[in-house]
Amino acid sequence: MNSFEKILRSVTEKMAMVAQVAIVACMGLVVVEAIKRAVVVGGIRGSSEIVELLAAVILSMGIGYLTFVKGHVAVGLIVDRFRPRVQAVFDVVTSAIALGFTIWLTQAMANFGLSKLKDGLETGTLQIPLYPFCFVITFALALTCVVLIRDLLKAVIMLRRGGEA
Considering the domain boundaries, does residue 99 fall inside one?
Answer: yes
Q: Residue 87 belongs to what domain range?
A: 3-160
Considering the domain boundaries, does residue 151 fall inside one?
Answer: yes
For the chain, the domain total comes to 1
Number of H helices, E strands in the chain: 5, 0
Considering the domain boundaries, does residue 165 fall inside one?
Answer: no
Cα–Cα dist 159/165, whole Å = 10
The predicted pLDDT at position 75 comes to: 62
Considering the domain boundaries, does residue 76 fall inside one?
Answer: yes
Measured CA distances, 32 to 21, 28, 39, 126, 142 (Å): 16, 6, 10, 18, 35
Task: With cut-offs at 50, 70 and 90, classify the pLDDT of residue 1.
Answer: low
The predicted pLDDT at position 163 comes to: 60
At 91-116, the pLDDT tens digits run 899 899 999 999 999 999 999 999 99
Considering the domain boundaries, does residue 19 fall inside one?
Answer: yes
Considering the domain boundaries, does residue 97 fall inside one?
Answer: yes
Considering the domain boundaries, does residue 118 fall inside one?
Answer: yes
CB 82 within 8 A of CB 90: yes
